[in-house]
Structure 1
Amino acid sequence: MRTKMLRKFKYYCLRLLRIKKSDHVVALGSVLGFLHCWFPTFIVGLPISLLLTRLLRGNLAACVIFSTIGSFTWPGLFYLNYKVGFWLNRLVGAPAANHPAHMALAPPVTHKVGHFASFGHLGMNFLIGSIVNSIVFSLIGYFVIRFILNRYRPTLITKLKSQGKGVRRSLTVG
């Protein structure tokens, strides 16, 4: 099972590296394919990414490959969204709910439902984190993928091809 998954992963990496489009087109498709993974879009995420990739003229195959990779990483991404949003909220200095000025200005009803108001802070932290993460990591990802494709594409293709032959030989011999 593990060997089969590893072979598929290598196959799709090789397929991604063999795309004859420019580095810009492949990097754009890759970033747009991963973009929806930062948000809880679940079922409609891939169609949104495909539409954005089509509109911005990115590579659709790269979009699908990176969307698939992102579908396995979304629990970690959601946690990262919350942590970054929480950190930014603390950095900006959002007023604490128990601050005396906030208590004096807050209507008495908020004291009764204060427990449920904390869920709103969780959502706001997540939203802020997902927006910031999607922008920052998309920009970084675009330039990193473009650099890798521009500089190391032929080397990576030959390395993956040689590893694929070794895997195939070991499967036929044993």
Structure 2
Amino acid sequence: MKLQRRFKYYLIRLFRLKAGPHQVALGLSLGFIPNWFPTFGFGPILSLGLAKITRVNVIAAVIGGIIGTPLWPVFFLFNYRVGGLFLKKPSEVNDLEEVEYIEAVNDTVGSIQSGSLQFLTGALVNVLVSSIILYIIVYLIFKKYRTRILSKLKY
């Protein structure tokens, strides 16, 4: 129950922002970017810094950073899979159970032969695609349904 209440709180806070749809959508999509990299819990802080540098909505960026944090193992797997598609190499990681944080750091900052090029290629492609898709979705939701969603969240 507490998790549901917290989720509703952040949704209300997001939809009550006085910023326009462009600022909120850009903040959320830019705040989501650090989730594709091994930040070890510092993703929301990096999202905050990214929002300050680019002058987008800070609250939306932090929420974007928080949203993806629990999904890190899935993003890690996607990075390897997508990188393998672009580099035409078999994926270094094939299952979620194989995702280890220590190995993520070693593979990301290790030599190119260790799979870091595959990981980083996948991460960059995923950042680009997810940012565009997330921006469009959030922009359309805020443009069309902001007041309707906010009125339903109050009850």
**TM-score exceeds 0.5:** yes
Question: Does the C-alpha gap of structure 1 residues 77 and 15 become closer, same or farther in structure 2, counting only changes over 3 Å?
Answer: same
Match for residue 119 of structure 2? Answer: 126
* RMSD of aligned alpha carbons: 1.9
Residue identity matched to 1:148: I
Size of the aligned set, in residue pairs, is: 134
User: For the Cα contact (< 8 Å) 2:45–2:62, is it kept in 1?
Assistant: no
Equivalent in the alignment of 2:144: 151
Aligned partner (choices 84, 87, 101) of residue 86 of structure 1? 84
Structure 2 residues without counterparts, runs of 5 or longer: 90-111
2:55 equivalent to 1:57: yes
Q: Match of 2:2?
A: 4
Q: Deviations over 1:111-148 (max 9, x none)?
A: xxxxxxxx825322111100100011111111111111
**Would the aligned equivalents of 2:43 and 2:69 in 1 still touch at CA under 8 Å?**
no
2:95 corresponding residue in structure 1? none
Matches within 5 A, 1:19-168: 19-90=17-88, 120=113, 122-162=115-155
TM-score normalised by L of structure 1: 0.71
Deviation >4 Å, runs of 4+: none
* Separation in structure 1 between the aligned mates of residue 135 and residue 2 of structure 2, nearest angstrom: 29
Overall identity of the aligned pairs, in %:
42
Q: Distance in 2 between matches of 1:9 and 1:44?
A: 20
Provide the TM-score with structure 2 as the length reference. 0.79
1:44 positional shift? 4.4
Q: Which runs of 5+ in 1 are unaligned?
A: 91-95, 97-118, 163-174
2:103 matched residue in structure 1: none
**Greater Cα radius of gyration, structure 1 or 2:** 1
